[in-house]
Structure 1
Amino acid sequence: MAEESYDEECDYLFKAVLIGDSAVGKSNLLSRFTRDEFRLDSKPTIGVDFAYRNVCVGGKTIKAQIWDTAGQERFRAITSSYYRGALGALLIYDITRRQTFQNIKKWLSELRGFSSPDTVVVLVGNKSDLGQSREVEEDEGKSLAELEGLYFLETSALQNQNVEEAFLSMIERIHEVLIQKIALDNKSNGDDGDGPVVPAGREVVNIDEVTATRPLSTSFSNCCLK
């Protein structure tokens, strides 16, 4: 019952995924964003995990349901299925390991094969606090992002640098795409109203369709950002 009342506080539920090689820092980025925590002894994700966080965008309360996918090859068949219905993705590499950057195109191709063309993708170069061990220059990340039409940021989950910005830029852009979709639908239906599209907090808002979801487990943060 507590979960139901919590859901009712939200206007939209957005699904997003974290993608990238193993040990690039996906889990710590997620825990930093949702719980403001960082674990030096973080273990590899087995299969998938997820957490929630509420944010306020455009006067609406959005619950971001963020899935952390395993980077190991043996889990690919499992994790790729979670790309479906994702409105956004953080595509993450480790600036100290060039191979993780070289694999970005492979991850991006896989994501695009399963997700909507409207999925918002942010390219993230993580571990910027380890600049002395850098193997991938920031300009390389920017160039790849420009080539592929992605947003780009370098982050440090350890020092909490640009973590909020990475997630929020994705969520805010998803909201913009949704509002544009609503406006187009209303126009085609001859409806000038701006009422809610789905019952608050009860369904995932997909750019192409609306599908019900019931989470298997949760990790909540009640903070609603300004």
Structure 2
Amino acid sequence: MTRPIFIPLAVLGALLGVAAAGSSSALVTAPRPTIDVPATANREVAVLAGGCFWGVEGVYRHVKGVIDVSSGYSGGSASTARYEATSSGTTGHAESVRVVFDPTKVSYGEILQIYFSVVADPTLKDRQGPDSGTQYRSALFPTTPAQAKVARAYIAQLSSARVFNRPIVTTIEPFKGFYPAEREHQNFMARNPSYPYIVINDRPKVEALRRQFPANWRG
């Protein structure tokens, strides 16, 4: 399978000395302490979608406190949870990642701060980078009522502060289940570090994580 080669807006902007149109020129502010919730266990699951799952998975594999990450599909039914079907954009699925994390080491709020800072441009509707369609939408699938509360409050905080130059269109959707993707999509970035799509579109996200979140970085 191939994907088109594309220079992300953030990278192009850096080369031209300007900020990307929809993104903040600096680290996205963290959730207010009143938004995040204290840990009640040592294992929690977050499900997020932000374009091609290769890059999203690749970023969270380098976050301290993350126990496991897998690529898959969320938003549709089990019967259509396949790459070919999801790629049609008619299944309701988004290419998603399931992040299992230790909330005593990294909170859900921090997971979202990383998401909005380096994973996805939340101002783009039904597309990220070179990929377009509902399957590449920016979406959060809270797995608990507490996560849904944090997600809503944090998006409201970022919107009120006008952190981005355009409105945030990231959706908060009911969690209907997560369906792992085919084997060839799992840990794709680590297994294919020289793949052109990875080099151009996804490696800069990992570098941004390392640079902007040194306290959360795991090499």
- Taking structure 1 as the reference length, the TM-score comes to 0.28
- Taking structure 2 as the reference length, the TM-score comes to 0.29
Greater relative contact order (Cα < 8 A, sep 6+): 2
Question: Could you say which structure has the higher strand fraction?
Answer: 1
